[in-house]
């Protein structure tokens, strides 16, 4: 862990610097995969399934029988947990629907905006050692609420050619039936270009490894994506009211995601820092993924600040994916938070609840993108279309403004499009 005591504001940017990931070495490999899938479709996907997943697939599609078997086989306690999480996520995202508001900007000129669902969306769900069935809910639920006509899900199979039961159960809850056993960059390429089996989509959502992220980056000119992404991260602000055992658990929960996970503790109390470090070592030894967490902790940062005001300002500079406030909070303090993906307030709000079941979305901006990006929401699955309708009186009221501006820009046809109507109105009367 790297430790900093009362750093000046000039030092904050360097402390907040994420590790620079050099993806240049894998660009050629990802480009080759994309080209292969675009030109050879299913044959390329089956080839990569054998190469990367160690499985020979006759059929890329998950069958109805496989989905039904997963629903029967899933552990009842896990099924109950997924159902509660799904209900909470549905409640929160349903509340994001907006009514149409029509505004008369000038007498006779009415403007409004309406939402339309993105017709075809693709969801990428990582498999491997930690199959992210929770992400199925985070993406599938708002896609379903938005009314997307086609929801395609791609996820890598295991060595037996199966998709994890919980992934299939969560997908069934969201009404997703187009599920394919495809992982990695090749899955992103398949959803971008389409194959005989997998339909092309308009927008791709979901996390993944470096190859998946590079594929999304390359294909942004072909298909929309949810957001840029980097390693997952948490920043905890702790004062003397914090519980060190809780803080340690939150830091380790982030560290176990992967060796590149970003873990930051900012505190106004040196004793809390010491107690938290002790708790980390005690809890780390009990974790099944302790080797992964320990590696992530090697580049963790611990920052001692003089006061909460500075701690919040530092957090705004860092722009964390997850911000945990293990400190005394007020509405005034919350208003000072300008950059964060999702905020967890108080000692009893662990980041884990947002990952799974509080209802908020866990697909959030990382790598400092919280300065400009929001997490996935219902809006992520919508297009917004503006409308305007003018009466003849409304056109007359705004005509001079439009013609003056159009002619000043040298766009005479724009001006004439108004004037021809004015002449018609005058003649009609």
Q: How far is CA 103 from CA 89, 100, 379, 388, 418, in A?
A: 32, 10, 21, 9, 21
Query: What are residue 304's DSSP bridge partners?
Result: 5, 267
pLDDT digits (tens, 9 = 90+) for 58-109: 999 999 999 999 999 999 999 999 999 999 999 999 999 999 999 999 999 9
Residues making up the binding site: 124, 186, 209, 232, 254, 257, 322, 355, 409, 414
Task: Specify the pLDDT at position 428.
Answer: 86
Which DSSP state fits 393? Answer: H
Instruction: Give me the catalytic one of 90, 93, 164, 322.
Output: 322
**Among this protein's residues, is 338 annotated catalytic?**
no
Closest CA to 257 of 218, 229, 278, 223: 229
Largest CA distance in the chain: 87
Contacting residues for 194 by C-beta, under 8 A, at least 6 apart:
200
Residues making up the binding site for Zn(2+): 254, 257, 355, 414
Cα–Cα distance measured from residue 257 to residue 364, given in angstroms and rounded to the nearest whole number? 15
pLDDT digits (tens, 9 = 90+) for 16-36: 999 877 778 899 999 999 999
Q: How far is CA 205 from CA 62, 179, 202, 347, in A?
A: 20, 14, 10, 32
Task: Specify the pLDDT at position 228.
Answer: 87
Q: How many CB atoms lie within 10 A of CB 170?
A: 30
Task: Specify the pLDDT at position 73.
Answer: 96
Question: What's the CA dihedral at 312, 317, 321, 325 to 10 degrees?
Answer: -10
Residues making up the binding site for substrate: 232, 254, 257, 322, 355, 409, 414
Query: What are residue 235's DSSP bridge partners?
Result: 264, 323
Task: Specify the pLDDT at position 238.
Answer: 98
Across the chain, mean pLDDT equals 96
Helix 290-297 crosses helix 244-255 at what angle (to 10 degrees)? 100
Instruction: Give me the catalytic one of 233, 256, 321, 351.
Output: 321
In the numeric block, the tokens 């799904």 are attached to 86
Containing 244, the helix (H) or strand (E) segment is: helix 244-255
**Among this protein's residues, is 93 annotated catalytic?**
no
pLDDT digits (tens, 9 = 90+) for 287-310: 999 999 999 999 999 999 999 999
Q: How many CB atoms lie within 10 A of CB 251?
A: 31
């Amino acid at each position: 862990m790297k430790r900093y005591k009362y750093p000046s504001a000039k030092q904050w940017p360097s402390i907040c610097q994420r590790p620079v990931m050099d993806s240049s070495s894998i660009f050629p490999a990802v480009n080759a995969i994309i080209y292969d899938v675009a030109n050879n479709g299913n044959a390329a996907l089956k080839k990569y399934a054998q190469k990367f997943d160690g499985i020979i697939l006759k059929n890329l599609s998950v069958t109805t029988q496989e989905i039904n078997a997963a629903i029967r086989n899933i552990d009842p306690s896990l099924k109950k947990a997924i159902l509660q999480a799904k209900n909470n996520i549905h409640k929160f995202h349903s509340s994001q629907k907006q009514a149409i508001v029509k505004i008369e900007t000038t007498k006779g000129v009415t403007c409004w905006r309406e939402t339309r669902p993105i017709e075809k969306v693709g969801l990428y769900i990582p498999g491997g050692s930690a199959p992210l069935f929770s992400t199925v809910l985070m993406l599938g639920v708002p896609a379903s609420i938005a009314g997307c006509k086609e929801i395609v899900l791609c996820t890598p199979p295991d060595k037996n050619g199966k998709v994890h039961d919980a992934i299939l159960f969560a997908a069934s809850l969201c009404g997703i039936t187009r599920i394919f056993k495809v992982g990695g960059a090749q899955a992103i390429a398949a959803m971008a270009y389409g194959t005989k089996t997998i339909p092309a989509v308009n927008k791709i959502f979901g996390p993944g490894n470096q190859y998946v992220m590079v594929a999304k980056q390359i294909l942004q000119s072909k298909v929309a994506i949810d957001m840029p992404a980097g390693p997952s991260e948490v920043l905890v602000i702790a004062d003397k009211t914090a519980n060190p055992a809780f803080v340690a658990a939150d830091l380790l929960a982030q560290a176990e995601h992967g060796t590149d996970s970003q873990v930051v503790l900012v505190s106004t109390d040196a004793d809390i820092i010491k107690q938290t470090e002790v708790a980390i070592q005690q809890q780390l030894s009990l974790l099944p993924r302790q080797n992964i967490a320990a590696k992530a902790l090697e580049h963790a940062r611990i920052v001692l600040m003089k006061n909460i005001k500075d701690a919040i300002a530092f957090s705004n500079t860092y722009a964390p994916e997850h911000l945990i406030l293990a400190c005394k909070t007020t509405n005034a303090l919350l208003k000072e938070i300008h950059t964060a993906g999702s905020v967890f307030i108080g000692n009893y709000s662990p980041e884990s609840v947002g990952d799974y079941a509080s209802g908020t979305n866990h697909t959030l901006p990382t790598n400092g993108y919280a300065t400009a990006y929001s997490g996935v929401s219902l809006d992520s699955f919508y297009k917004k279309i503006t409308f305007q309708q003018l009466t003849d009186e409304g056109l007359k009221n705004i005509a001079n403004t439009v013609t003056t501006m159009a002619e000043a820009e040298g766009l005479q046809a724009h001006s004439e499009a108004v004037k021809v109507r004015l002449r018609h109105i005058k003649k009609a009367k």
